Amino acid sequence: MTAAINVVVLAAGMGKRMRSRTPKVLHRLAGKPLLEHVLRAARVLRPAPARLCVVYGHGGEMVPAAFEAKDVSFARQEPQLGTGHAVQQALPHLDDSLPTLVLYGDVPLVRTETLSGLIAAAGEGLGVLTVALDDPSGYGRIVRDAAGRIAAIVEEKDASAEQKAIGEVNTGIMLLPRKRLPGWLAGLTNDNAQGEFYLTDVVRVALADGVPVVAVQAQAEWETLGVNSKSQLAQLERIAQQRIANALLEQGVTLADPARIDVRGTLSAGRDVQIDVNCIFEGDVRLGDEVTIGAHCVLRDVAIAAGSEILPFCHLEGGEIGRNCRIGPFARMRPGTGLGAEVHIGNFVEVKASSMGEGSKANHLAYVGDSIVGRNVNIGAGTITCNYDGADKHRTTIEDDVHIGSDVQLVAPVTVGRGATVGAGTTVWQDVPPGGLALNRKDQVHRPHWKRPIKAPR
């Protein structure tokens, strides 16, 4: 096997059926652009890619801007004159002493193992990845000779009725032998129904040159499927999510319904993790042992330590949750938040850019923003930290063992000292000393024999 290869990813197509200004390869599958899936499969190939070139066109510089990386070069195809013409644009970026693997930016689920198998089987020849389809409509057919060897690849618009009945089709993925590629591409013509320079025509040239052409069939049809419409994108999304769900089940995660989970990034889970239905995981999510996620939760870039329970309908983003916490239902955690062990965040509580120490609780209808909350603090229902003065954010500090009653407003910057108590309904404008009681005095008025207003009859 060769020590290294070139990889060319064709990503210049307009994708008219997507009906979008966004280049097709930037549409997302499982939370990542289609092209990112292909690049990820290429990067972990063995042999490794020595040169990795993306051929782009539709959408201008949007594709290079989205995938700036030291290991990727970009070649613009303008106008788009077919796949053979596209690969020709990549030639200046390639090492002509190495074979070249051609991939497609809109075929996102191809497995690295399949590509490695194609490279190994091709050797010094030309390798073609094929797949057998019940309905081969739209694909180029693999035509074989009497001995079963590939004789040609015929595009559907140029195929005869007999050729259209062939079920084995070309996926477009090829390994092209070293040094021959420039000459083969220069000899292509566009004498076909599409008026394009087909890359598949190099098969005919290779056979004429006595170069062996080897076909390798993909094990699964889904890894060769391309995206040309929003409908096809939705179909591949379900395939991708089912694969992710199966992998989680194999790892020992309990999924209430494997068909109702969406992972749009990476999800790592410890032992005995349970996930209820309709949960969405985005970015990088890490779940410790025995974590439970209730139904209809959205988690983005969050780490949850062992034994914690997330009740239904929570939205957690950008923070860390300690051991044995209880969050929700209907709780929100915004970026920059860190919760210690055994913290309770209850229904309709929002915590933003704040830390809460071990054993602290905010169980009902509270907002904690830009705050440092110590250990064993109780924050009563309806309490809010008033952290924004219209221009700047300010810090609230609540030290250990503080008890805050219901309906309290803490006007930052302010500190509530260790062990202090804040009475219900208090607006705290000044620092509260440790161990004391803070309250706003209010007189309660009684009016005997007062009558409640009654609606006038209509």
Which residues are catalytic, by number? 364
Measured CA distances, 13 to 9, 10, 79, 271, 416 (Å): 11, 8, 10, 44, 61
Q: Which residues of 281-293 are buried (b: 16+ CB within 10 A; e: fewer)?
A: bbeebbbbebbbb
Decide: 327 and 308 in contact? Cβ < 8 Å.
Answer: yes
CB-based burial, 202-214: b 16+ in 10 Å, e otherwise? bbbbbbeeebebb
Q: Judge whether 156 and 133 are in contact, CB under 8 Å.
A: no
